[in-house]
Amino acid sequence: IHETEQHQRELYAGFIGMRGDQFKIYVNLRCAQFIDGNYYLYVGGGFTKDSDPEKEWEETENKAKTLLEVLS
């Protein structure tokens, strides 16, 4: 990963589904940052040996669209 990626990995954990005082931590495959007046979106997929690359790419695009809708 370090040989191919040009950016620092930062936003990979988050919590979803608070119930009282309990929550679970997941790998968060959709995040956004607001820095100096700009939004930066981070989305990813969970590829396995059985994954269909086209469907994974479509899912990744949909995650980005969801973030953009929330931000607009």
Taking the whole predicted model, whether its pTM rises above 0.85 is answered as no
pLDDT digits (tens, 9 = 90+) for 22-61: 776 666 678 888 899 999 888 877 778 898 989 989 988 9
Rounded Cα gap, residues 16 and 6, in angstroms: 29
Rounded Cα gap, residues 40 and 33, in angstroms: 5
Nearest to 13, CA basis, from 5, 23, 4, 22: 23
What's the pLDDT score for residue 28? 67
